[in-house]
Amino acid sequence: MKHFFFIFTLGSMLLFSCTRDKITPIDQQCNSTISFANEVLPIMEANCVSCHQPGNVSGGYDLSTYNAISENANAIIGSMKANGYQLMPIGGPALPDSTIQKISCWISQGKQDN
Ligand code: HEC
């Protein structure tokens, strides 16, 4: 009987932690305000700017400044999802869903320069 309770307790702890993991990562409702300076720009700099900046405007896109990113927001999200645009970063793999979601939220929150 002791063993049964031990396994039961361990099992429910495992089950509970897995359930929580599935809920936490993506903020589907965009509940928190996305910061351009602290979240959007670092994502762009880490994944896109090396090929999309003045002097290296691949495909004609400079994605290194607020104005450029704001004006090309639809192309950026389209390319991250391979939706109407070639998949970016070029050659893949696609960025994690949670990263793409941050850019989507920033757009739906009015592309603030915050
Ligand atoms: C290793 C270099 C490289 C990286 C990194 C890169 N791109 Fe590109 N990108 C290119 C090249 C080269 C083209 C032009 C492709 C062509 O004309 O076939 C392009 C084209 C594009 C286009 C136009 C695609 C179309 O179908 O018209 C968009 C939008 C774009 N990139 C956005 C991004 C975004 C957003 C990121 C970061 C998530 C990114 N790129 C990362 C090299 C890169």
Convert the pLDDT of each residue in 84-111 to its tens digit. 999 999 999 999 999 999 999 999 999 9
Q: Ligand 1 centre and the CA of 89: distance in Å?
A: 6
Q: Ligand 1 centre and the CA of 47: distance in Å?
A: 10
The first and second tokens of residue 37, run together, are 């300076």
Q: Does residue 95 contact residue 47 with C-beta atoms inside 8 Å? A: yes
Residue 48, pLDDT above cutoff 90: yes
Give the Cα separation of 81 and 88 in Å (integer): 8
Atom of ligand 1 nearest to the CA of 44: 37
Q: Which of 47, 80, 79 is CA-nearest to residue 64? A: 47
Q: How confident is the model at residue 70 (pLDDT cuts 50, 70, 90)?
A: very high
Q: Which of 102, 96, 111 is CA-nearest to residue 27? A: 102
Across all residues in the chain, what is the average pLDDT? 86
Q: What per-residue confidence (pLDDT) applies to 33?
A: 96
CB distance 66 to ligand 1 below 6 Å: no
Query: Which whole-number Å values give the CA distances from 75 to 1, 78, 81, 87, 94, in the listed order?
Result: 61, 5, 10, 11, 15
The whole-number average pLDDT for the span 67-91 is 98
Give the Cα separation of 23 and 2 in Å (integer): 32
CB distance 88 to ligand 1 below 6 Å: yes
